[in-house]
Structure 1
Amino acid sequence: MHPRVLFGLVVTCLIALGVTAVLALARPAADRQELADGVISASSPFAGASRGGHPSPAFRLPDQRGRATTLAQLRGRPVILTFLYSTCEDTCPVMARQIAGALDRLDEPVPSIAISVDPEGDTPSSAQRFLNKMRLGDRMRFLLGSREELHPVWRAYGIRPQGDGFEHNAYVVLLDAQGRQQVAFPADKLTDDDLLHDVRVLQARASSNAATTGR
């Protein structure tokens, strides 16, 4: 092949690659934003980031009233799941108030679970005080345990617990009626409107599935 022809082909390929890169960068942020906990897609019915139905880990932990809680007990309805600590004064209260705001507007209530990220600091009484202050009183279970008991749950959900000199990962995860992880919101993306919307999507799916199976 003549050198000039070869040079022309190389230039053409480089131009094509450049155009492709420009078009990729020009896509809406919602189409290309990737989060550690999922992906936001314009084709998704959810406002939050999709977790694609990833299985949820089994656990058995006591809540602030000593009641043993498992995900199997909550099957059949969507579940709001988050990770908090009871002495938090910034991110956790904001997330809790957003959850309370969504629960206030739901026609059909859904189970809500908070899992401790500070096992040494969270106690049954401090957990209940936190829930009461956030208007979540009897509407949320605050699950407690030792670091050894909680670590497998943190790991399965990709959560770093609270520590000296660093903050925990602050997320709200929505599980579907089968207990699968469907949606996640990082704290800075969470609103009660978006959370309400995505819970209603999961409720509608659960109702449709129940009607189809005759349950």
Structure 2
Amino acid sequence: MLTLSACGNREARGDYPAANGNNCLPDVSLIDQHGAAVSLASLKGKPVLIDFIYTSCASTCPMLTAKMAAIAHQLGPALGADVTIVSISLDPEHDTPAELAKYAKSHDADGPGWIFLTGPPAKIDQVLALFNLRRTRESNGSITHSIEAFLLAPDGHQIRQYSALDVSPAAVVEDVDRARNKG
């Protein structure tokens, strides 16, 4: 459930105040698209924009990744230097590091500062729980999931939540810039 504020018309853009006070970058290690272990806690220190996808999704995940790619493009050299994008697999049973690397390359998402993560299903579920999310596998193999994205402050706490297919890349970049300037 989202909590909406009454400030301006931001909600119409799919951009909401964070409704979750959890530390979303705990000391949990996952595996990136290059096969390296990455502790989520190691990402603290700069804003992190995070979403959840899986590589065999033929519907919303490619659209979500395209939206994140547009945001990455607008961030320019700040991506990697001042902000990180993290896409976590919802299908760790199938999304190996090699599959994530292939997906990233095919979606123009393989530049510096954008990390794709997978890991044991229990760890993925642990991370999803921090965001008050869960994944459900349907009988056809697809995964029902939220298409939310989240902006985390340098301390790992959520500061914005997005209806990722509705929000404009410019609105997200504005939020990232504000978070960078506070950090």
The offset of 1:197, in angstroms, is 1.6
- For 1:61, what is the secondary structure of its paired residue? strand
Considering Cα pairs closer than 8 Å and 6+ residues apart, tell me whether 1 or 2 has the greater RCO.
2
Please give the TM-score of this superposition, normalised by the length of structure 1: 0.71
Partner SS for 1:54: coil
For normalisation by structure 2, the TM-score amounts to 0.83
Match of 1:54 among 6, 15, 21: 21
Aligned-residue RMSD, C-alpha: 2.2
> What residue is the counterpart of 2:146 in the other structure?
169
After superposition, residues 9-158 of structure 1 pair within 5 angstroms as 36-42=1-7, 48-51=15-18, 54-57=21-24, 58=26, 59-106=28-75, 108-109=78-79, 110-139=83-112, 140-158=114-132
Identity %: 24
* Structure possessing the higher radius of gyration over alpha carbons: 1
Note the C-alpha offset of 1:79: 0.4
- Which amino acid in 2 is paired with 1:149? K
Q: Distance in 2 between matches of 1:168 and 1:45?
A: 24
140-149 or 36-45, which deviates more: 36-45
Q: For this pair of structures, how many residues does the alignment match?
A: 171
> When you count helix as a share of all residues, which structure comes out higher?
1
1:186 deviates by 2.0
Runs of 4+ residues deviating >4 angstroms: 43-47
Equivalents in 1 of 2:153, 2:53: separation in Å? 21
How far did residue 52 of structure 1 move? 5.4
Pair 1:65–1:144, CA change in 2 (3 A): same
CA distance in 1 between counterparts of 2:6 and 2:20 reads 15
- Structure 2: which 5+ residue stretches go unaligned? none
**Structure 1 gap segments, 5+ residues each:** 1-35, 207-215
CA contact (8 A) 1:91 1:187 kept: no
